A and B are shown apart, each in its own frame.
Chain A
Amino acid sequence: MFDKTKQWKAVKLTFVLGALITAACLIAADHIDAPGVTSGNGGSVGSDITDLYAFANGDNMVFVINTQGLLSPSATTAASFDEEVMLEINIDNSSTKDQIEDLVIQATFENGKVQVYGPVAPVTMGVNSTRVSGSPAVEAGITTGNNPIIGDANGIKVFAGPRDDPFFFDLGRYLDILGGTQSGFRNPGVDAFAGTNVMALVIEVPKSRLGSGDINIWATSNRKL
């Protein structure tokens, strides 16, 4: 009992220290994670990635990149994809896993449409990206309401538009714990992301286009130079 109390005090103390160090650190999946992609009023801009998902559907792989988190229903009506921003899924399918992209899937947003390029070897690697040449593999109108517009061509599907944020987390209680005013989570917890939307990009690709075995992926948002 004594050890437990002592240990708990240590945990609590480090929480307070941690809170001081991180000050306004917001933990979410990746929502509002950086000043560079957060606007002055606390909202995020078109290049703020909130979440990345990758899951199998039979012989296909589904990629989801969500952006612009914590959109209220009214803010969602006014939200749009930034035409200056390209979203990219980077894929390392090398046997050594050198964390360098061997394939990219690129999505651009122009004239009310989403265009998907790839999966294809990148023109440039690293923090600068070049849109691959040629025509898009698939494109679709950007959805504005509840009924999804789906593009389907060359074995690839795409959707871009507002959806419910699939992320769930008792962010408020976590911040209280970090701040030292609470010692643990509540039960039941309160999902801080309930009732909020994101601007979502969903792309479904045949696994055979991605490599074999295990791959490593990461999402990036990139602003036109």
Chain B
Amino acid sequence: MKYSMLSLLFVSFLAFTACDKDDDQPVVRYEQEDQMGRPAINTVFVPSGSAKDAFNTTTPAAMGAAYTTVFRDRLLALNAGYTTNLLTLDATTFASVLATDVLSVSLTKPTTFYDGTNVLTGRTLADDVIDVELILIFGGPTGGSNPGLTSDNVSANDRPFLSSFPYLAAPHS
């Protein structure tokens, strides 16, 4: 009797956890493996190995507190002469902005990663995001410091993008 009560409870527990309350669709749960907001953030600023996996499974709300110091140290390791950048951000402020890895998107302004006027209103396929990041890391307050390091001199994709959906060029075959 006790056993059958328990198994009944168990069965109803299973049924409860396996089914959505509103309908009989199974509840499908997932665990996060990778995360990305802005390009090259995890790859450049998070140390190799398990730290990268940890960053990928940290929620954006927790990233600022957990990673600002790590990012500032990395920024100064890449450019010991860093003072401020074109956006007038000092090392700690720049690191804190970068550490929360989300992409800011404007629903009203034209989309650009950075066009000299608009900053981070999204990211188009053609935006030269690497040059923008190199300038912000190495270019100093005017963008003119370390000229050999502020552009990789690759300014466009190898194939033209489409003007209509799905926008990306056909695959290489």
Contact = CB atoms under 8 A, between A and B. Distances in A.
A55 B122 contact: yes
Number of contact residues on A: which range applies?
35 or more
A150 B166 contact: yes
Nearest to A171: B152
B151 interface: yes
A73 B34 contact: no
A134 to B, nearest CB: 8
B35 A219 contact: yes
A18 B77 contact: yes
A174 B28 contact: no
B28 A130 contact: yes
Contacts of A35: 49-50, 52-53
Number of contact residues on B: which range applies?
35 or more
B123 A11 contact: no
B14 interface: no
Contacts of B144: none
Interface string A1-33: 000000100110111011001111111111101
Given A150-B165, A218-B35, A133 B47 contact: no
B169 to A, nearest CB: 4
B47 A222 contact: no
Interface string A171-214: 00110010000011111111101111100101010010011111
Interface string B103-132: 111111011000000000011110011100
Interface in B9-36: 20, 22-23, 25, 27-36
Nearest to A86: B30
B47 A22 contact: yes
Contact of A168 (B25, B29, B157): B157
Contacts of B166: 148, 150, 159, 163, 200, 202
B80 interface: yes
A220 B35 contact: yes
Contacts of A34: 34, 42, 52-53, 55-56
Nearest to B164: A57
B31 A127 contact: yes
A47 B159 CA distance: 25
A174 B152 contact: yes
A176 to B, nearest CB: 12
A39 interface: no
Interface of B: 20, 22-23, 25, 27-37, 39-44, 47-50, 52-53, 55-61, 63, 74, 76-81, 100-108, 110-111, 122-125, 128-130, 146-149, 151-159, 161, 165-173
17 contacts: A21-B47, A25-B47, A29-B36, A30-B39, A37-B34, A49-B34, A76-B171, A127-B58, A131-B28, A164-B172, A168-B154, A185-B153, A189-B153, A218-B103, A220-B33, A222-B32, A225-B29
